[in-house]
Each structure stands twice: as C-alpha cells, then as structure tokens.
Amino acid sequence: MSLTDGKSRGTSRAWGACPLAGLITTLWATPEPAQAGWRELGFVFVHMDSSEDKDKDARRCYTQIRKAITSENSDLVHVRLARDTLARKLGEDATSSWLSADRKAFEPLVKWEPSTWRDGAGKVIKGGGYVVDAWVLIDCQPAKRTLDIVTVAPATGSVMHLHLGERDINKNSRELAKSFVMGHAWADWSP
C-alpha cells in the first residue's frame, strides 16, 4: 500500500491534514489551561492584644493590617482567631511570651486544621481541605506607636518576628507588614 498520490513523493493531502486535525481537536477539547499544583494560600490570623480593656484603636489597626494582606489576594483563604483560642492551643505561658517564643513553642499549631475559612473578601467558606501556610500573630498598638507581628510557617517550622517601634502605624507600615507576612508565607511554599 502506498501513501503517495502517484504524482509526488511523500504523503497524500489526506494524511498530511491529520496532524493539523488532531491539534485542532486537542485545542477544542481543552477549554482552560491546566494549573498543575495550584492551590490557595492559607493564613490563620490572631489578634494578640492582651490589654484588659480591649483597645478599639488596637482592634481597628489589627483589622486594617489583616485586610491589607487579604483584600488584594484572591488566591488566599484565611481564618480569624481570638487570642484566647490560641492560648488553649499553645498554653498560657507560650501565649504570654509569644514575642520571644521559639519554634518549639509553636509546634502545637502545625497539625491544626480549621473547618471554617474565609476568602480574600472575608466571605465564609464552609468545609476544610485548605492548608495552613502561615500563622500570623498581630499586636498593633497605635497609642504606644508599636506594631509586632510573628509569623509561623508550619511547613518549615520557621518563626519570624517584625517589630516596628516608635513610629506611627500608617499605610506605609501596613504595606511593610503585608510584604513581611507574604514573603514569609511564600518562602518554601509548595502546592
């Protein structure tokens, strides 16, 4: 059996069109590009204000920093916890010394899996299945002009601390906090 049309060497026009038809069929059957290994980045935020009167300015500052991190990141899911919840997981000693705690103090956080998450806009997402990529502990005290953030990355066990003292907590401070948190969360990140 010959694959030529008898007039020229090579394949016939019918056979030559097959690879093109196969390519068109493949492109038509694939509606979206694959995203191998993609998943949302998961954060747990904890407001670490330890004052008895629960300073409203401190709460507002914490919220502004959390929103600076989450609002522009559609590929991020998060959980909000109270300091008391963290104290139950770590113990009160570790919670009260959270600014100087080493990675061993944060080991109980590594395997905890929240069941209710929020998307970047703050909308509740039911169900689990997300991975905690970073714990973000924030204590913002505008009246004292201080901001402390500790991030814990469960995948690597690394703990990092950002301290801004004797400065107003403003948009630039929030952007610095956002860069710090996102940089640590993305370090050694793997889907």
State both tokens at 16.
């030559």
- Is this model's pTM higher than 0.85 or not? no
- Residue from 141, 169, 144 nearest 56 by CA: 141
Question: Which residues have CB under 8 Å from 152's CB, separation 6+?
Answer: 103, 106, 109, 134, 135, 137, 158, 159
- Give the Cα separation of 34 and 145 in Å (integer): 47
Confidence of residue 145 (pLDDT cuts 50, 70, 90): very high
Contact 49, 58 (CB under 8 A): yes
Q: Residue 161: is its pLDDT beyond 70?
A: yes
Contact 54, 161 (CB under 8 A): no
Residues 40-79: pLDDT tens digits?
788 889 888 876 656 889 999 999 999 998 877 777 778 8
For the chain, the distance separating the N- and C-terminal CA atoms, rounded to the nearest angstrom, is 52
Residues 116-132: pLDDT tens digits?
778 767 777 766 667 78
Which of 18-27, 47-56, 75-84 is least confident?
A: 18-27
